[in-house]
Amino acid sequence: MADYSKKPNTIPWPPIITLAAIAIGWIAQKIEPLDWISSISATFWPLGVLMVILALAVAVWAFITFKSIDTTIMPNKAASHLATKGPFRWSRNPIYVADIVIISGIGLATANPWQLITAAIAIFAIEELAIKREEIHLKAKFGQEWNEYTRKVRRWV
Mean pLDDT of 96-117: 96
Cα separation, 25 vs 111, in Å, equals 11
Q: Which amino acid is it at 44?
A: F
pLDDT tops 80 at residue 40? no
How many CB atoms sit inside 10 A of residue 6's CB? 10
Share of the chain above pLDDT 90, in %: 86
Q: Do the Cβ atoms of 97 and 33 come closer than 8 Å?
A: no
How many CB atoms sit inside 10 A of residue 155's CB? 14
How many CB atoms sit inside 10 A of residue 127's CB? 16
pLDDT tops 70 at residue 36? yes
| Residue 2, helix vs strand vs coil | coil
Cα separation, 112 vs 123, in Å, equals 18
Mean pLDDT of 96-100: 98
pTM beyond 0.85: yes
| Residue 76, helix vs strand vs coil | coil
